[in-house]
C-alpha cells in the first residue's frame, strides 16, 4: 500500500508508529560484507591476470575467463534472486550465498591450474548474485512488522565495490601475490556468517512464501538474455561488434530479453515482475541508475588505460589514483541522504547528475604529463556527484511499492546498474579505440607520410619506449586526444541524466524508515 508524504507526516507527528530503530553494528557488518565483497570481486582480478597467467602457465586470453566467467555466472543467476528469496526466505538465501561465496573464494586461492580457477570463479559468481539485492531488501526492513532506520550510506556498496576493486587488487597483488585477492574474502565472509544468528534475532520473522511459483521459461529467457548481452558487450570492443562470433551474442541476448518482457507481462508470477515499472517513479529511478552506472564504470575502465599506457604508471599507482573517488563517494552519500530527507529529492538527483557532467569535463585537463594527484582530484569530484544520487534513487525506486514488490525492485535496480555499467564500458571503449586509432594513424602519416597499421589503443608504454622521442610524443598526444573525445560522450551521458531527473516529482514520499534523522528521532 502506497503511503503519501502527507500521511507519513501525519503519522509521524501523531506518534502512531514507533520511531524506526537503528541496525546494530554487528548486523550491519553481516549485511554489508557480502555485497561489498561481491562487488569488489567483479573487477579485482583484472590487475592480477598477468601474474596468474605466469604462475599457472595459462595464456592471457584463457585467464581472462576468470573475469568473464564470474560476471556471466552472476548475470545468469541474478534473475533467480527474487523467486529464491520468496520461496526459501531472504535470510536463508543470503546466508547460503555468502557461505558458498566464501568457500569458492578459498578454492580460487588454492587453484592449481587455470581450469580449476575458472570453475571456482563461476561458482563464486553464482553465489555473489543474490548478495546485493537481498542485503538491500533486508536493510530496508521489508518483511517484518517493525520499521528500521535505513543506515545512511549503506547503498554505497552498489557503486563503491567496483571503484575499490583495482585499488584493493593492486595493493594485494604487489604485497602478497594474486592468491591474496581471494584469501582476503575468507576472514571477512566467515565473520559475517558468524553474525547471521544476530541478524535473525534482530530482523525477526523471515517466513518463506510457499505460494511463490517457479517460472522456468521466464528464468531461462531473462538469465540467458542477460548473460549473452553482457558477454556480447564485453567482446564487442575487442573483436568488433559485427564479427560473426560477436553479433549473435548481443543480438540474441537482446532478443531473449525482449521475449522475457512479453512473457512477464502476461504471467501472474513471472521470475522478476516487470509490472512495477509501469509506475513512473520506479521506472525513472532504474533508468537513472543505469545512466549512473554507465558514466561511472566507463571512466573506471578508461582512466587506468591512460595512467598505464600513456603515462607509464603501474597498476598499483593506477588503483591508488582511483581510491579517493570511492572515499569521497561514501561521504557524499550521507549528504544526499540528508538533502533527500529534507524534501529536496529531485533537486539532489539533478544536482548530482549536473555535477557529474561538469566534473567529468575536468578530465579534459588530463595529458601525458598530468600529475596523478590532479587526476585523482577530478575523479574525487565525480565520486562526490555520484554519491549524491545513490540514496535518493533507491528511495524513489521503493517508496511507492508494496512490500511484496521490493524483492523484484531491488533485483531490477541491480540489473540496471550492471547493464548500464557493461553497456557504458563496451560502447565507450569501442568509441575510444576508434578515436585513438584514427588520431594515431593521422599522427603516424604526418610523421612518415604513410598509412599506419594497427589500432591506436594497441600502443602500450613498452612499445612506445622504443620509438624516437618526437614520434612517441605524437602518438601519446593522439591517444590523449582520443581520450578527450570520449570524455565529451561521458559528460553527455551525465547531462542526459539531468534531463531525465527533471521529470521526477519535486518531492517524493519518503518511507518511514528514512524519515528519521541519524539518531532515529523524527525530524
Q: What are the two backbone dihedrals, phi and then psi, of residue 522, each rounded to the nearest 5 degrees?
A: -65, 145
CB 81 within 8 A of CB 407: yes
| pLDDT the model gives residue 203 | 74
Contacts of 394 (CB under 8 A, 6+ apart): 136, 155, 285, 413
Q: What is the spatial distance between Cα 224 and Cα 253, in angstroms, rounded to a whole number? A: 7
| pLDDT the model gives residue 209 | 67
Hey, which bits of 34-184 come out as E strands? Answer: 148-149
CB 156 within 8 A of CB 120: no
Q: What is the spatial distance between Cα 365 and Cα 373, in angstroms, rounded to a whole number? A: 12
Q: State pLDDT tens for residues 274-287.
A: 777 777 888 888 88
For residue 172, the surrounding DSSP H or E stretch is helix 157-176
Among 262, 252, 263, 266, smallest CA distance to 224 is for: 252
C-alpha cell, 121:
570463479
Where do the domains of the chain lie? 1-202, 216-270, 279-518
DSSP-derived 3-state class of residue 522: strand
Q: What is the spatial distance between Cα 24 and Cα 366, in angstroms, rounded to a whole number? A: 44
- Helix 280-305 / helix 469-501 crossing angle, nearest 10 deg: 170
**Alpha carbon of 450 to those of 119, 317, 459: distances in Å?**
47, 36, 18
**Alpha carbon of 49 to those of 23, 46, 178, 261: distances in Å?**
39, 6, 8, 37
What is the architecture, at CATH level 2, of domain 279-518?
Up-down Bundle (1.20)
Q: Which long-range contacts (CB under 8 A, 24 or more apart) does 249-255 make?
A: 252/225, 252/228, 253/224, 253/225, 253/226, 253/227, 253/228, 253/229, 254/225, 254/229, 255/225
Does this chain's domain 1-202 share its CATH topology with 279-518? Answer: yes
Helices and strands (H and E) in the chain: how many: 22, 2
Hey, which bits of 113-257 come out as E strands? Answer: 148-149
What is the DSSP code string of 315-377?
A: HHHHHHHHHHHHHHHHHHHHHHHHHHHTT-HHHHHHHHHHHHHHHHHGGGG--TT--HHHHHH
| pLDDT the model gives residue 490 | 92
Q: State pLDDT tens for residues 278-316.
A: 778 888 888 888 888 888 888 887 888 888 888 888 777
DSSP state of 272: S
Among 283, 250, 305, 272, smallest CA distance to 456 is for: 305
Q: What is the largest CA-CA distance in the chain?
A: 81
Among 401, 398, 411, 79, smallest CA distance to 226 is for: 79
Contacts of 127 (CB under 8 A, 6+ apart): 97, 98, 100, 101, 104
DSSP-derived 3-state class of residue 516: strand
CB 437 within 8 A of CB 455: yes
- Residue 308 half-sphere exposure toward CB, CA atoms < 13 A: 20
Q: What are the two backbone dihedrals, phi and then psi, of residue 62, each rounded to the nearest 5 degrees?
A: -75, -45
The position carrying cell 557529474 is 356
**Positions in the chain short of pLDDT 50:** 1-19, 142-148, 450-459, 461-462, 511-523
Among 4, 65, 26, 254, smallest CA distance to 151 is for: 26
CATH code linked to domain 1-202: 1.20.1250.20
Burial of 65 (0-12, 13-18, 19+ CB in 10 A): middle
DSSP-derived 3-state class of residue 462: helix
The position carrying cell 588530463 is 366
Q: State pLDDT tens for residues 238-274.
A: 777 888 888 888 888 889 989 888 888 887 878 777 7
| pLDDT the model gives residue 150 | 54
Q: Which residues pair with 21 in a beta bridge?
A: 148
Amino acid at each position: 500500500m502506497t503511503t503519501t508524504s502527507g500521511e507519513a507526516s501525519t503519522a509521524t507527528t501523531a506518534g502512531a508508529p514507533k520511531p524506526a530503530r537503528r541496525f546494530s553494528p554487528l548486523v550491519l557488518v553481516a549485511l554489508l560484507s557480502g555485497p561489498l565483497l561481491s562487488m569488489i570481486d567483479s573487477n579485482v582480478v583484472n590487475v592480477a591476470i598477468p601474474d596468474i597467467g605466469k604462475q599457472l602457465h595459462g595464456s592471457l586470453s584463457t585467464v581472462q575467463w576468470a573475469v568473464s566467467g564470474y560476471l556471466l555466472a552472476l548475470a545468469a543467476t541474478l534473475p533467480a534472486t527474487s523467486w529464491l528469496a520468496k520461496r526459501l526466505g531472504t535470510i536463508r538465501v543470503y546466508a547460503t550465498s555468502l557461505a558458498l561465496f566464501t568457500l569458492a573464494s578459498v578454492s580460487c586461492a588454492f587453484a592449481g591450474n587455470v581450469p580449476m580457477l575458472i570453475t571456482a570463479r563461476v561458482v563464486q559468481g553464482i553465489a555473489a548474485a543474490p548478495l546485493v539485492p537481498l542485503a538491500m531488501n533486508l536493510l530496508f526492513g521489508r518483511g517484518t512488522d517493525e520499521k528500521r532506520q535505513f543506515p545512511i550510506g549503506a547503498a554505497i556498496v552498489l557503486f563503491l565495490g567496483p571503484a575499490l576493486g583495482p585499488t584493493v587488487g593492486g595493493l594485494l597483488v604487489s604485497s602478497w601475490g594474486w592468491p591474496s585477492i581471494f584469501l582476503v574474502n575468507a576472514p571477512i565472509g566467515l565473520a559475517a556468517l558468524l553474525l547471521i544468528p544476530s541478524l535473525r534475532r534482530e530482523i525477526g520473522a523471515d517466513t518463506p512464501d510457499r505460494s511463490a511459483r517457479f517460472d522456468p521459461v521466464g528464468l531461462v529467457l531473462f538469465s540467458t538474455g542477460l548473460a549473452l548481452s553482457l558477454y556480447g558487450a564485453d567482446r564487442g570492443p575487442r573483436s568488433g561488434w559485427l564479427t560473426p562470433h560477436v553479433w549473435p551474442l548481443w543480438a540474441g541476448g537482446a532478443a531473449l530479453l525482449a521475449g522475457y518482457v512479453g512473457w512477464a507481462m502476461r504471467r501472474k508470477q513471472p521470475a522478476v515482475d516487470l509490472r512495477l515499472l509501469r509506475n513512473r517513479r520506479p521506472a525513472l529511478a532504474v533508468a537513472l541508475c543505469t545512466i549512473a552506472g554507465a558514466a561511472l564504470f566507463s571512466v573506471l575502465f578508461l582512466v587506468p588505460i591512460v595512467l598505464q599506457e600513456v603515462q607509464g604508471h603501474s597498476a598499483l599507482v593506477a588503483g591508488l589514483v582511483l581510491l579517493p573517488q570511492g572515499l569521497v563517494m561514501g561521504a557524499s552519500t550521507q549528504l544526499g541522504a540528508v538533502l533527500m530527507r529534507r524534501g529536496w529529492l529531485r533537486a539532489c538527483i539533478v544536482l548530482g547528475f549536473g555535477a557529474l557532467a561538469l566534473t567529468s569535463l575536468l578530465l579534459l585537463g588530463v595529458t601525458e604529463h598530468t600529475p596523478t594527484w590532479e587526476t585523482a582530484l577530478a575523479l574525487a569530484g565525480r565520486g562526490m556527484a555520484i554519491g549524491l544520487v545513490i540514496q535518493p534513487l533507491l528511495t524513489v525506486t521503493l517508496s511507492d511499492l508494496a512490500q511484496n514488490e521490493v524483492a523484484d525492485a531491488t533485483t531490477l535496480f541491480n540489473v540496471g546498474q550492471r547493464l548500464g555499467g557493461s553497456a557504458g564500458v563496451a560502447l565507450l571503449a569501442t568509441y575510444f579505440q576508434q578515436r585513438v586509432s584514427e588520431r594515431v594513424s593521422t599522427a603516424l602519416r604526418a610523421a612518415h607520410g604513410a598509412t599506419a597499421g594497427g589500432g591506436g589503443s594497441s600502443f602500450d608504454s613498452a612499445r612506445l619506449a622504443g620509438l624516437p622521442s618526437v614520434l612517441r610524443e605524437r602518438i601519446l598526444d593522439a591517444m590523449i586526444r582520443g581520450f578527450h573525445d570520449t570524455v565529451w560522450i561521458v559528460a553527455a551521458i551525465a547531462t542526459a541524466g539531468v534531463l531525465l531527473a527533471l521529470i521526477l516529482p519535486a518531492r517524493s514520499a519518503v518511507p518511514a524508515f528514512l524519515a528519521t534523522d541519524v539518531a532515529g528521532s523524527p525530524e
